[in-house]
Copies of this chain bind each other. A is one copy, B any other.
Amino acid sequence: MAQGVGTRPRGAGRAQLHETALRLFARDGVEGTSLQSIADDMGVTKAAVYYHYRSKDDLVLGVLAPLFEELDALITRTEAHRGRQARLDEFLTGIVGLIVDGHSRFAVFAGDPYVGRLIMSHHDLLHWFHRIVAAVGADTDVPGRAALLIFLSGMTAPLKDAGVSGLPTAEQRHLLLECGRRLLQVRRR
């Protein structure tokens, strides 16, 4: 069956490259991972990597691309709800799912200094963040924004803990969701 644009079968090598690169990025950081080490891990040479992407930056963006799409869809879904509580719930559920099932893509996205700078100059991370902030109604509310930031940037940490990563993913989701709800619950003065 034809599966997309063009006739060329878009290599299985590409999928393996994504998988390998993501794993090393998550473990050693993007700047701590050379194209050489990726190639070594795959048992090929650097030049084989350059066949798929013409620069390291491109590779990083390529690896993160699926996350960008899912993030975009989640925000759109969130914006469709009415009422802050409903939006918060949709967003939290969705983002927790992305993190637990995302094979550490989110950790690389949110935790790596190199990625931060890269995104800032390509996709504009700020645009997404503003949409998120507005979608959950935290744009006029400094404490709310602070809580959201803590959650977004801290959320991936428990998954590296042995006691948590050993749990079934359903429980991981539940655990993170609990934390998110506790942290982001609106407070009346």
A residues at B contact (CB < 8 Å): 28-29, 31-32, 111-114, 117, 142-143, 145-147, 149-158, 161, 163-164, 167, 175-176, 178-179, 182-183, 185
Cβ of A179 and Cβ of B150 under 8 Å apart?
yes
Our pick among B149, B175, B182 for the contact of A158 (Cβ within 8 Å) is: B149
7 closest cross-chain pairs (CB), A and B: A154-B154, A29-B113, A153-B157, A150-B154, A146-B158, A31-B31, A149-B157
Cβ of A150 and Cβ of B149 under 8 Å apart?
no
Copies in the complex: 2
A25 to B: closest C-beta gap in Å: 9
Cβ of B32 and Cβ of A113 under 8 Å apart?
yes
Cβ of A28 and Cβ of B111 under 8 Å apart?
no
Cα of A45 to Cα of B131 in the assembled complex, Å: 44
Cβ of B145 and Cβ of A158 under 8 Å apart?
yes
* A117 partner residues in chain B, CB cutoff 8 A: 28, 32
Task: Using known A-B contacts A29-B113, A150-B155, A155-B154, determine if residue A163 contacts B183 with beta carbons closer than 8 Å.
Answer: no
Given contacts A28-B113, A153-B156, 10 further A-B contacts (CB under 8 A): A29-B29, A32-B113, A32-B114, A142-B175, A143-B179, A146-B179, A150-B154, A150-B155, A179-B183, A183-B183
